[in-house]
Amino acid sequence: MIRFEDVSVTYDGADRPTVAGVDFEVPEGELVLLAGPSGVGKSTVLGAVSGLVPHFTGGTLRGRVTVAGRDTRTHQPRELADVVGTVGQDPLAHFVTDTVEDELAYGMESLGLAPEVMRRRVEETLDLLGLAGLRNRPIATLSGGQRQRVAIGSVLTPHPRVLVLDEPTSALDPAAAEEVLAVLQRLVHDLGTTILLAEHRLERVIHYADRIVLLPAPGAAPVTGTPPEVMAVSPVHPPVVALGRLAGWSPLPLTVRDARRHAPELRARLRATPTLTATSGRAAGGADRAAAEAAPTRQPSPLTAADSRAGGAVRVGDGGDPRSSGAEGRGVAAGRRRQASPVSAGGNPPRRSLFRRRTPSAGPVPPPASSSDLAEVRSLSVRREHGDALRQVHLTVPPGETVALMGRNGAGKSTLLNSLAGVVAPSAGTVSVRGVVPHRTPPRDLVRHVGLVPQDPRDLLYADTVAAECTAADHDAGATPGTCRALVSELLPDVADATHPRDLSEGQCLALALAVVLTARPPLILLDEPTRGLDYAAKARLVAVLRGLAAKGHAIVLATHDVELAAELAHRVVLLAEGEVIADGPTAEIVVSSPSFAPQVTKVLAPQQWLTVSEIREALG
Ligand SMILES: Nc1ncnc2c1ncn2[C@@H]1O[C@H](COP(=O)(O)OP(=O)(O)OP(=O)(O)O)[C@@H](O)[C@H]1O
Ligand SMILES: Nc1ncnc2c1ncn2[C@@H]1O[C@H](COP(=O)(O)OP(=O)(O)OP(=O)(O)O)[C@@H](O)[C@H]1O
């Protein structure tokens, strides 16, 4: 159904092809997973299927790509629209109408479907994706995950024979991601839909894939095979594969279920390990963890932030060291962008004006407030047109602590971060960061206390090149020239200085935004979904950087659906539901007890209480 014949793509101005020797086929009714490091060219390959590459992105495509027999180089994307449905990485760029229902109907209207068919399919899709309660909502008022679901729904309604999906679960909570993937699998099984899907969180999708096409490195020919074949050689792999490699399991497990078959032997080895000192920044002793088996109700003793700083050795994740480089056809997406910033839609100032440091160099950081907590939220409520986004929320964050905000899409995580960043004003209650009230503090003063990487990292990027962006960030932060650039390279190697931020791949864009904010080294660092587009190795490097900052007394609050990241990084997890805090405690306690939020290692080794592959590696020596 989809066929690549010796395809290469060279973007204008590039001295070598971004992807080369791409030769594979996706038969009708199969779901094929496209995997590979950040910036390796996954979106470029997907764009070649929908025709966006090269028709909208520019550049030269050599070789031949056909979809349902149509050559995508000689057919414009609109001439493929009856066959191919595409969801890109940036849902906002995808939308062409203003409300949820209109968006779901739009694709069908363009194809001229009968009104009664459209009505029925809109209703079906609202139910299928849990969107019924949002049907009349303006898209600009939706949370990130709610938008991603609308974007997926809008390509399902026309019933395309081929779906091309770029990180379709990146903004979804774990349960929603499973639901969406189950829907996709049903389309494949029941309707024979053909799906090509790129994803970084392989733990979410690998068990749905018939085959994997791996782009191992920029410009390298893809490796194609069954999931076990490809995972045996892949530089990107989920935690269970890393665990299987570490423990020497054969065949390599791909799922928690596979891995649990081997678990008794590993649990026995872990039981025999000597007690560990807390070196992973959060770990209780290995013997304590193993002892949890005998006394399953006992939780690992939480460390205080000070404990964890003292033992703050930086153990990072388990990925290989895939190379990266990248950019993608974002020009098209940008051209289609219609929505106002979601934050400005609520009458608040747009985020970018508040968080870019286009101010003279920040002066010395004022001393911390007298309270030992760096951030303090008391009885915070935020009322929105359609209901309360936050209700009576209390949160305190001491210096040196990393807190993960988790919870279902629309639970209020971004609203809480935006309140701490002064972008959203409380309807009731108080917010204070180092003694200042964020929404009443001028941006030029606030940046000395708090920095936010928003859900869409593009909101932070202004300049025409990566180099100019970094120079401005250094200047604004009063940092030594080269600081920001070095951070970008530390997070993702191979991001070229001359690239326009618009042309960066998703992961590269996020790495740049993270570097811009971290260059200013604000005492309170707020990160809204800071792993979209990042491969496992890049996430591990980000964890190392953030642990280093926490060890120096920075407080970090991140909103994330990435349970593996939370397990690796957070001292504490705060669970939100419907705008309220429903749990607040040490990471191990919260995630171990939740089937949705438990990381893979926890599930494999239960009832022993381990969270990450790095802890196991350390325990085994
Ligand atoms: N329109 C463009 N012009 C120039 N370079 C581009 C363009 N689009 C993409 N690139 C470059 O192509 C490379 C591959 O980008 P692409 O978005 O395809 O990677 P990816 O594997 O999808 O990345 P990620 O995992 O971060 O989403 C990047 O180095 C990027 O800078
Ligand atoms: N500008 C806005 N105007 C009106 N309602 C909004 C606005 N922004 C968010 N909301 C609503 O407030 C609630 C909380 O949204 P928020 O973005 O804080 O959720 P979230 O937990 O970050 O979700 P996600 O995981 O999907 O990013 C949601 O119901 C959302 O639809």
Sheet with 375-384, strands from edge to edge, namely 387-397, 375-384, 428-433
CA distances from 344 to 143, 334, 415, 516, 600 (A): 13, 18, 13, 22, 38
What values do phi and psi take at 585, rounded to 5? -175, 180
Phi, psi angle pair for 432, to nearest 5°: -140, 135
Ligand 1, atom 7, residue with closest C-alpha: 328
Section 90-105 average pLDDT: 88
Q: Give the 3-state secondary structure of residue 605.
A: helix
How far apart are the CA of 65 and the centre of ligand 2, in A? 39
Angle at 389 between CA 388 and CA 392, to 5 degrees: 75
Cis peptide before 54 (omega within 30 of 0): yes
Structure token digits, residue 390 = 């936050």
Q: How far is the CA of 494 from the centre of ligand 1 (A)?
A: 11
Q: Which of 143, 169, 344, 406 to mutate to test the pocket of ligand 2 (most atoms within 8 A of CB)?
A: 143
- For a mutational test of ligand 1's pocket, the pick from 16, 18, 531, i.e. the residue with the most ligand atoms closer than 8 A to its C-beta, is 18
Helices (H), 136-225: 144-156, 174-186, 202-205
Q: Is the CB of 327 under 6 A from ligand 1?
A: yes
Query: What does the pLDDT average to over 178-207?
Result: 94
Q: How confident is the model at residue 81 (pLDDT cuts 50, 70, 90)?
A: confident
- Using the mean position of ligand 1's atoms as its centre, give its distance from the Cα of residue 386 in Å: 38
Query: Which of the four pLDDT bands, split at 50, 70 and 90, describes residue 596?
Result: confident
Pick the closest to residue 407 from 559, 186, 196 (CA basis). 559
Nearest to residue 577, comparing CAs of 409, 353, 396, 392?
Answer: 409
The span from the CA of 157 to the CA of 149, in Å, is 12
Q: How far is the CA of 373 from the centre of ligand 2 (A)?
A: 26
Confidence of residue 312 (pLDDT cuts 50, 70, 90): very low
Question: Residue 37 CA: which ligand is closest?
Answer: 1
Atom of ligand 2 nearest to the CA of 455: 27
* pLDDT of 545 above 90: yes
Q: Is 2 in the pocket of ligand 2 (CB under 6 A)?
A: no
CB of 506 closer than 6 angstroms to any ligand 1 atom: yes
Q: What is the pLDDT of residue 290?
A: 59
| Tokens linked to 175 | 């349960």
What digits encode the pLDDT tens for the residues 221-279?
Answer: 999 999 999 999 999 999 999 999 999 998 899 999 999 999 999 999 998 876 443 33
For ligand 1, whether the C-beta of 86 sits within 6 Å is: no
Ligand nearest to the CA of 322: 1
Mean local confidence (pLDDT), 595-619: 91
- Give the residue-averaged pLDDT of 297-319: 31
Tell me the three state secondary structure of residue 542.
helix
Distances (CA, A) of 395 to 15, 343, 414, 423: 51, 22, 14, 17
Decide: 199 in ligand 1 pocket, CB within 6 A. no
Would the CB of 503 count as within 6 Å of ligand 1? yes
Is the ipTM reported for this complex over the cut 0.90?
yes
Closest ligand relative to 149 C-alpha: 2
Return the sign of the alpha-carbon dihedral for residues 511, 515, 516, 522.
Answer: positive
Looking at ligand 2, which residue's alpha carbon is closest to its atom 12?
389
Q: What is the pLDDT of residues 4-43, one digit of tens each?
A: 999 999 999 888 999 999 999 999 999 999 999 999 999 9
Pair of tokens at residue 78: 């609109």
Q: What is the Å distance from ligand 2's center to 157 Cα?
A: 24
Ligand 2 centroid to 223 CA: how many Å?
40
Tens digit of pLDDT for each residue in 36-77?
999 999 999 999 999 999 999 999 999 999 999 999 988 988
The residue contributing the CA closest to ligand 1 atom 8 is: 328
Q: What is the pLDDT of residues 393-404, one digit of tens each?
A: 999 999 999 999
Query: What confidence category does residue 288 fall into, taking pLDDT thresholds of 50, 70 and 90?
Result: low
Residue nearest to atom 28 of ligand 2 (CA): 410
Distance between Cα 43 and ligand 1 center (Å): 7
Residues 6+ apart with CB under 8 A from 218: 18, 19, 39, 40, 41, 323, 324, 325, 326, 494
Kindly indicate the confidence band of residue 314, based on its pLDDT and cuts at 50, 70 and 90.
Answer: very low
Residue-wise pLDDT for 109-120, tens only, equals: 888 899 999 999
- pTM recorded for the entire structure: 0.85
Ligand 2 and 325: CB distance under 6 A: no
